[in-house]
Amino acid sequence: MNKQNARNTVIQLRDWLTREGYSDGYISHFNSTTNQLLKFMDSKGISEFTTMIGFQFLESKYQCELKSEISHLNSGRLRTMQMLSEFQLHGVPLPKARIRTYNIPANFREATERFTAHRRFVGIAERNMSTVSLYLERFFSYLTGQGITKLSEIAVPHIHGFLRFLTGFSNQTKDHTMRTVRQFMGFCYKNGYHTDDLCADIPSVYYEKRSRIPSAYSYDDVMKLLSLVDRNNPVGKRNYAVLMLLTRLGIRCGDICRLKYENIDWERNIISFTQHKTGKPLTLPLLEDVGLAIIDYLKFGRPECDSTNIFIRHRAPITPFIAKSFYTMISSYIGKAGLHTQGKKRGPHALRHSLASRLLEENVPLPVISEILGHSNTNTTAAYLSISVDKLRNCALEV
């Protein structure tokens, strides 16, 4: 693709973003990034755009190194490079996960609705169905770009082409996506939507399921983070209370957001609720410092409103606090605390890992840690063993 074609692609993709209803702010950021990209290409005398050229541009212009932690702004710029590459190769960018309805082409809709109904019937949790819909939407988006309008027209080359289309996603996402496609095509064969059974020709993608060591922070780091919360204002009181629930009890952020007054038994000093992720009940002791933080927020920080949720937004509209806000809040406090974050996550799950690590160091039995964290079995909790350096040191053999 020559430089004029690169500009045409930018214009066409901008028009596509407008038609799809992307916000003015998103398109403004897209324009800013792509204008700088075209200037970079001109200065280097580059005639063709590739994903690698896009990476070189980001590293040169914005010091965005893919091997290190990527800032929020650079993450958006990286997505722009990926969208340009996808649009150039296939005429349509891959849709990304976001809160929305999923656009299933009319010719694929009946089979998709029957397939998702079947998945629900066999026991797939409702929280996972949006992911199934997202993977199928990506699949259909690719097929539409290839001129495929009927399920009966799908062939093995289209399956393999879609896997190449997933370049830029992790191997785990690729594998989960292809597994969904395999299940869908098997359903289509069994129910007469396709004449051939393509399941055996749909590849799996290998990935190490436990290749990454969970991120964790030391007890001193967690205490330093908590000490930086300004508890002299309502927002600080709320943030401190939710951080105490996360760091002291290990409650998932989604469950913290859903906590209601009736979930706390002040006389018995316990917190009881049904976990959103597993659907199983969990009862935890209400530690004194956690209870005091919640009381401080309820008495002196929480705005008056009709919501029965304990934690709410402090800006209009006054609605329940949402889990998405946790990462921004925690990442901000970690930055202010100056914690060592190289190779570590900066979100709420890292603090759950930190609690598990600390409990292991205090010789708390694994089944007890499983109960505290709300895991269904100890195999899930066993993954946290890899973050306890002291425990690993005890396993070392003498040479």
Instruction: Give the residue numbers annotated as catalytic, written as ranges.
Output: 252, 277, 349, 352, 375, 384
Query: Which stretches of 63-212 are DSSP H helices?
Result: 72-90, 106-121, 126-145, 156-165, 171-190
Cis check for the bond before 317: say yes or no (omega within 30 of 0).
yes
Q: Is 351 exposed, middle or buried (0-12, 13-18, 19+ CB in 10 A)?
A: buried
The answer to whether 344 touches 350, Cβ cutoff 8 Å, is yes
Token reading at 179: 């597994």
Residue 325's contacts (CB-CB under 8 Å, 6 or more residues apart) are none
User: 10 Å Cβ neighbour count for 243?
Assistant: 23
Instruction: Mark residue 269 as left, alpha or beta (left: phi above 0; alpha: psi -120 to 50; beta: remaining).
Output: left
- DSSP-derived 3-state class of residue 367: helix
Q: How far, in Å, CA of 142 to CA of 208, rounded?
A: 27
Picking from 162, 173, 202, 205, the residue whose alpha carbon sits closest to that of residue 186 is 202
